[in-house]
């Protein structure tokens, strides 16, 4: 609207480009989702008719995702890991926000850059570096004290730590942005009305941050859920869903049950993303 | 009293931050650098040396892969910017009020869909028995199935697809903050469309552009699934080499060296990009 | 003891330094119970710092603050019975009106059964009985204002501090709220301390006004006293409009003085009680436009001060119309005039004669 759009043809061309882009954006997702409903053993054309077997059927060869033990276990592990990562990273993200918005200490700018850094480190490297360190510690302890520290071997804990290491940057940025908008006089007003420091935090500051904390938690959960690169090096026997799917794809090849999982994940992550956007929309205008 | 409380709370806030960065970022990275400088001279016997790096230099496949990964990532970043900028501009500045929100939501909702599902979707579309090939046969344009997978163009399309939303979303936020009156003033003072773009819009959007480019470049260079699944076994992506050293050959020393090289190489590119555009990490990535 | 408790708020020799900057310097005042007291000064004069010290957010470098006769220097802000209406009100957006007002009561641990009637009662007193369940963003500017006051008043404070709360409102609402605040203060009969840089707010509402400049109190008094009998040149210049000249004393008499301005005019001005003036002293002269009469030239009168000039322009503003006259020394002099719309009215380029009495000519040594 800002641009003087005298040139009608140009505008139509521009619109066509935007539409083409959104088709490009949607095509693979639609393809991945749609074949979940094709009554065929292969996710390919021709269309054989509509079915929900790939979700709910309980017998081979058309074993639906909700009866596929390994996929369900992957889903469960993903959910557990996601919940842990999102809890941890929201907690540290919140303390980081207070540290950088309210705190005053030497080297603050330097530490702030340090806080952003994990976001631009390739996930593969985060994965191997944490794997190497955990193994070094575990090996060292085993050699010296002859104690086997099972939790430092690849497994859920390492996956959680690996994802937490960079997701915390995301949650910190989201919560920091919100805390910066906080009108400091609201805390003074609460103090003035007789609240203690703890009451101010509980009744004024944290409620103000709550939308950002929930949104950050959802984003953390989603990023954790879809993460592959970091997880790949840290995973033990408890594979989360993306790893299970990748194994299935590599060993069995593409089967419509993977489409069913894809559909489930696209819809699920879309809904969660939608919720996080809606929550962050500030009804009171900040 | 008051200042003691302040100091105590500062320490309490600093503790999680320090633990997180020290234990999960700084020490592990020192760890892989140290590991990469270890040479295996006999089973379970190691000594300090640059052998792993020398191996890398002496084996053209390795550094060719790194250079290939780097140059293709730069290409993907440029393509993502060229394709994404007009979309972001449309959403932020041209679309009507209602469709603006809807279009932006369309970008945000699929933001967190896994690389795996994205690549899977492309496989279903582009493989020999895929939707595109069947469709082209049905309308009689080709007579027998065509394999669109396993070539560099497909890998690049797939990579651009995977990362482009991370370019568009920060750009929309940046452009959204720019007042329409600034653009109108540009036209009003007699600028042509191109001058306004070059002198007003691009400089204003620069932090967002650089931020998007850094994130996109890093994601591309560090991606694993998309090149493997769309490029096949010969995709020659550097992360694959790291995986190979770590998991298949169990040669952690060499894998650590490769990891460090990838990090150093990508950081160098980002640093150069920041220098060339006169931006800093703090006013770009931190703002998005 | 008894006569101390007659004051709700006493400040004695308050000084506040921020590093090497002295924000408040040796300020002393007392406020009688149940009065409306304003602190008026330009922005950056230290009035907000003074208020934050009274509320307990800052500690004075030296001096004492007493509320109802008791020093509160060691009382933390959340234990002082001084409530504050913030500049941007600082209502809590995540709570509705009821919860905003009940906030202080809940913090004080008031039983639930007592909170409800108290909140209802205060809402009725501010004439907004039906808004309890509204969200803050649903209120109009004036309603927010009243809720912010109610939120404090429900706690029955000894003193209510108001930090330029009308600043964010538009002009019309601001005029209405001035009257409303005055009425509210009467109704609650609580001491209000009102901070502002807007003189009309201070003059209209207050029983007493303190004029603050550069961290110091220049003068404390009733509004009309400040207007008619300023004791410093800052107060004379800051409160109300004035024509202002710089000059030197030429001759001193028992109750008046003759001054030569730098531009070469001669004026007779009043000597204020106790003001020591001597010949040759540099002074500043203030004359309010409403005390200068502007007539078409020719009509002679025997005023103390007269000069002739030409009308440069007429600033028509109904009852507050004014002319700008270019005098013999080429400077512009403002004088209030009555514009009737008839042929007698002054117009641009008319020759005029300005006259005013020595009584209305204020003179301050600089």
What is the nearest CA distance from C287 to chain A, expressed in angstroms?
Answer: 42
Question: In this structure, what are the phi and psi dihedrals at residue B251, rounded to the nearest 5 degrees?
Answer: -100, 80
pLDDT over 80 (residue C276): no
Q: Which residue of C has its CA nearest to A198?
A: C107
Q: Which of C86, C136, C152 sits opposite A185 (nearest CB)?
A: C86
What is the nearest CA distance from B58 to chain A, expressed in angstroms?
Answer: 23
Q: Which of A194, A208, A210 sits opposite C155 (nearest CB)?
A: A194
Q: Of all residues in chain C, what percent carry a pLDDT higher than 70?
A: 97
Residue C286 in tokens: 């203030």
Instruction: Count up the domains in chain A and report the number.
Output: 1
B27 CB burial (10 A radius; 0-12, 13-18, 19+): middle
Selected residue with higher pLDDT from C82 and B197: C82
In a domain, B164, yes or no: yes
Report the alpha-carbon distance of residue A173 to residue B170 in Å, rounded.
13
ipTM for this prediction = 0.88
Residue C88 in tokens: 């941007």
Classify C231 as helix, strand or coil: coil
With contact defined as beta carbons under 8 Å apart, do C320 and C241 qualify? no
Q: Of all residues in chain B, what percent carry a pLDDT higher than 90?
A: 29
In a domain, A61, yes or no: no
Residue C298 has a pLDDT of 63
Q: A interface toward C at CB cutoff 8 Å?
A: 183, 185-186, 188-196, 199, 203-204, 207-208, 210, 283-285
B168 CB burial (10 A radius; 0-12, 13-18, 19+): buried
Q: Is residue B142 less than 8 Å (CB to CB) from chain A?
A: no
Which residues in chain A touch residue C136, judged by CB atoms under 8 angstroms apart? 284
Q: Would you call A183 and C90 a contact, using CB atoms and an 8 Å cutoff?
A: yes
In a domain, A246, yes or no: yes
pLDDT over 80 (residue B78): yes
Which residues in chain A touch residue C84, judged by CB atoms under 8 angstroms apart? 188-189, 192
Q: Is residue C72 less than 8 Å (CB to CB) from chain A?
A: no
Residue A148 has a pLDDT of 83
Distances (CA, A) of B233 to B148, B161, B250: 15, 20, 19
Q: Residue A282's closest CA among A215, A203, A220, A218?
A: A215
CATH number of the domain bearing residue A172:
1.10.3720.10
Domain that holds residue A247: 76-253
**Do strands C208-213 and C216-221 pair parallel, antiparallel, or not at all (unpaired)?**
antiparallel
Q: Would you call A132 and B28 a contact, using CB atoms and an 8 Å cutoff?
A: yes
Report the alpha-carbon distance of residue A193 to residue A186 in Å, rounded.
10
pLDDT below 70 — which residues of chain A? 1-6, 282-286
Report the alpha-carbon distance of residue C221 to residue C217 in Å, rounded.
11
In a domain, B144, yes or no: yes
Report the alpha-carbon distance of residue A202 to residue A213 in Å, rounded.
14
What is the nearest CA distance from A218 to chain B, expressed in angstroms?
Answer: 11
Domain that holds residue B84: 59-287
Instruction: Count up the domains in chain B and report the number.
Output: 1
**pLDDT tier at B146 (50, 70, 90 boundaries)?**
confident
Residue B173 has a pLDDT of 86
Q: C84-113: per-residue pLDDT in tens?
A: 999 888 999 889 999 999 999 999 999 999
**pLDDT tier at C300 (50, 70, 90 boundaries)?**
low
Inter-chain CB pairs, A–B, below 8 Å? 247
pLDDT over 80 (residue B283): no
Q: Would you call C83 and A192 a contact, using CB atoms and an 8 Å cutoff?
A: yes
Question: In this structure, what are the phi and psi dihedrals at residue C56, rounded to the nearest 5 degrees?
Answer: 100, 5
Place of tokens 């959802």: A218
In a domain, B17, yes or no: no
Touching A: C residues 10-69, CB under 8 Å: 55-57
Residue C3 has a pLDDT of 46
With contact defined as beta carbons under 8 Å apart, do B193 and A3 qualify? yes
Range in A62-66, A268-272, C185-189, C240-244 with the lowest mean pLDDT: A62-66
Return the DSSP state at A204.
I
Selected residue with higher pLDDT from C96 and C254: C96
Classify B75 as helix, strand or coil: helix
In a domain, A106, yes or no: yes
The angle subtended at Cα A268 by Cα A264 and Cα A269, nearest 5°, is 120
**pLDDT tier at B277 (50, 70, 90 boundaries)?**
confident
Q: Which residue of A has its CA nearest to C155?
A: A193
Distances (CA, A) of C255 to A6, C230, C236, C267, C269: 78, 17, 19, 14, 9
Residue C62 has a pLDDT of 93
| Beta-carbon contacts of residue C83 (< 8 Å; ≥ 6 apart) | A192, A193, C104, C152, C153, C155, C157, C159, C160, C161
Residue A2 has a pLDDT of 44
Which residues in chain A touch residue B111, judged by CB atoms under 8 angstroms apart? 273
Residue A220 has a pLDDT of 95
**pLDDT tier at B264 (50, 70, 90 boundaries)?**
very high
Q: Average pLDDT of C284-309?
A: 82
Residue C344 has a pLDDT of 79
In a domain, B219, yes or no: yes
Which residues in chain A touch residue C108, judged by CB atoms under 8 angstroms apart? 194
Which residues in chain A touch residue B259, judged by CB atoms under 8 angstroms apart? 124-125, 128-129
In a domain, A2, yes or no: no
**Do strands C322-326 and C282-287 pair parallel, antiparallel, or not at all (unpaired)?**
unpaired
Residue A51 has a pLDDT of 82
In a domain, B33, yes or no: no
Q: Which of A5, A32, A118 sits opposite B124 (nearest CB)?
A: A32
Which residues in chain B touch residue A31, judged by CB atoms under 8 angstroms apart? 121, 124-125, 131
Classify A72 as helix, strand or coil: helix
Return the DSSP state at A119.
G
In a domain, B110, yes or no: yes
Return the DSSP state at B50.
S
Which residues in chain A touch residue B120, judged by CB atoms under 8 angstroms apart? 28, 32, 249, 254, 258-259, 262
Q: C61-72: per-residue pLDDT in tens?
A: 999 999 988 899
In a domain, B69, yes or no: yes
- Mean pLDDT of all residues belonging to chain C: 88
Q: B59-69: per-residue pLDDT in tens?
A: 888 888 999 99
In a domain, B45, yes or no: no
| Beta-carbon contacts of residue C183 (< 8 Å; ≥ 6 apart) | none
């Amino acid at each position: 609207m800002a641009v003087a759009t005298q040139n009608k043809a140009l505008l139509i061309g521009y619109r066509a480009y935007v539409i083409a882009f959104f088709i490009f954006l949607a095509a693979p997702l639609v393809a991945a989702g749609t074949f979940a409903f094709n009554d065929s053993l292969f996710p390919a054309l021709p269309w054989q008719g509509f079915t929900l077997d790939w979700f709910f059927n309980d017998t081979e060869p058309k074993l639906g995702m909700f009866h596929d033990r390994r996929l369900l276990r992957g889903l469960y592990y993903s959910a557990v890991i996601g919940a842990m990562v999102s809890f941890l990273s929201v907690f540290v993200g919140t303390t980081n926000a207070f540290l950088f918005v309210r705190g005053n200490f030497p080297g603050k700018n330097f530490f702030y850059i340090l806080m952003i850094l994990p976001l631009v480190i390739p996930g593969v490297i985060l994965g191997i570096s944490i794997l190497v360190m955990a193994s070094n510690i575990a090996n060292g302890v085993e050699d010296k004290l002859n104690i086997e520290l099972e939790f430092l071997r690849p497994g859920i804990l390492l996956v959680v730590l690996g994802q937490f290491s960079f997701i915390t940057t995301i949650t910190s940025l989201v919560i920091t942005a919100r805390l910066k908008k906080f009108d400091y006089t609201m805390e003074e007003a609460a103090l003035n009305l007789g609240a203690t420091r703890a009451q101010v935090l509980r009744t004024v500051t944290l409620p103000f941050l709550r939308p950002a904390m929930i949104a950050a938690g959802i984003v953390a959960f989603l990023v954790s859920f879809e993460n592959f690169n970091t997880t790949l090096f840290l995973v033990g026997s408890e594979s989360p869903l993306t790893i299970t799917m990748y194994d299935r794809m590599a060993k069995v090849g593409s089967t419509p049950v993977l489409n069913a999982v894809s559909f489930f994940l696209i819809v699920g992550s879309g809904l969660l993303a939608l919720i996080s956007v809606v929550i962050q929309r500030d009804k009171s205008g900040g | 009293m008051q200042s003691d409380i302040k100091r105590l709370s500062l320490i309490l806030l600093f503790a999680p931050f320090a633990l997180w960065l020290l234990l999960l970022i700084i020490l592990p990275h020192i760890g892989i650098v140290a590991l990469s400088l270890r040479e295996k001279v006999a089973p379970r016997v190691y000594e300090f040396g640059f052998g792993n790096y020398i191996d890398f230099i002496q084996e053209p496949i390795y550094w060719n892969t790194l250079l290939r990964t780097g140059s293709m990532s730069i290409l993907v970043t440029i393509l993502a910017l060229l394709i994404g900028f007009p979309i972001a501009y449309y959403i932020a500045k041209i679309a009507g009020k209602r469709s603006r929100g809807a279009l932006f939501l369309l970008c945000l909702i699929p933001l967190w869909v896994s690389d795996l599902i994205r690549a899977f979707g492309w496989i279903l579309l582009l493989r020999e028995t895929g939707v595109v090939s069947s469709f082209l046969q049905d309308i009689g344009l080709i007579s027998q199935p065509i394999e669109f997978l396993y070539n560099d163009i497909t890998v690049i399309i797939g990579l651009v697809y995977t990362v482009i939303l991370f370019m568009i979303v920060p750009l929309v936020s940046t452009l959204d903050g720019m007042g329409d009156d600034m653009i109108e003033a540009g036209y009003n003072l007699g600028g042509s469309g191109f001058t306004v773009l070059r002198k007003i819009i691009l400089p204003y959007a620069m932090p967002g552009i650089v931020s998007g480019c850094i994130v996109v470049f890093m994601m591309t260079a560090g991606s694993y699934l998309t090149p493997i699944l769309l490029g096949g076994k010969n995709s020659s992506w550097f992360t694959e080499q790291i995986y190979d050293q770590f998991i298949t050959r169990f040669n952690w020393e060499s894998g650590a060296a490769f990891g460090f090289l990838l990090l150093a190489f990508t950081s160098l590119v980002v640093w150069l990009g920041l220098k060339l555009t006169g931006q800093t990490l703090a006013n770009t990535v931190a703002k998005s | 003891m008894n006569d101390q408790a007659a004051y709700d708020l006493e400040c004695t020799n308050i000084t506040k330094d921020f590093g090497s900057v002295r924000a408040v310097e040796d300020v002393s005042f007392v406020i009688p119970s149940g009065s409306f007291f304003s602190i008026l000064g330009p922005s950056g004069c230290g009035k907000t710092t003074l208020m934050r010290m009274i509320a307990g957010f800052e500690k004075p470098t030296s001096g004492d603050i007493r509320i109802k006769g008791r020093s509160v220097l060691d009382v933390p802000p959340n234990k002082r019975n001084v409530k504050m209406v913030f500049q941007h009100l600082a209502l809590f957006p995540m709570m509705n009106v009821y919860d905003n007002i009940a906030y202080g009561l809940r913090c004080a641990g008031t039983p639930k059964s007592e909170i409800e009637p108290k909140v209802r009662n205060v809402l009725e007193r501010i004439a907004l009985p039906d808004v309890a369940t509204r969200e803050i963003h649903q209120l109009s500017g004036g309603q927010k204002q009243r809720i912010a006051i109610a939120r404090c008043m429900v706690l029955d404070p000894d003193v209510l501090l108001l930090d330029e709360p009308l600043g964010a409102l538009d002009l019309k609402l601001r005029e209405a709220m001035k009257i409303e605040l005055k009425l509210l203060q009467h109704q609650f009969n609580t001491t209000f301390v009102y901070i502002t840089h807007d003189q009309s707010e201070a003059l209209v509402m207050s029983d007493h006004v303190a004029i603050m400049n550069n961290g110091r109190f220049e003068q404390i008094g009733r509004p009309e006293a400040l207007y008619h009998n300023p004791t410093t040149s800052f107060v004379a210049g800051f409160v109300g409009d004035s024509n202002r000249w710089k000059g030197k004393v030429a001759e001193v008499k028992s109750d008046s003085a003759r001054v030569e301005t730098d531009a070469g005019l001669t004026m007779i001005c009043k000597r204020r009680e106790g003001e020591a003036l001597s010949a040759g002293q540099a002074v500043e002269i203030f004359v309010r436009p409403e005390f200068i009469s502007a007539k078409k030239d020719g009509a002679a009168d025997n005023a103390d001060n007269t000069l002739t000039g030409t009308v440069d322009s007429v600033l028509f503003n109904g009852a507050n119309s004014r002319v700008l006259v270019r005098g013999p020394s080429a400077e512009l002099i403002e004088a209030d005039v009555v514009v009737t719309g008839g042929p007698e009215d002054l117009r641009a380029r008319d020759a005029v004669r300005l006259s005013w009495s020595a009584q209305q000519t204020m003179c301050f040594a600089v």
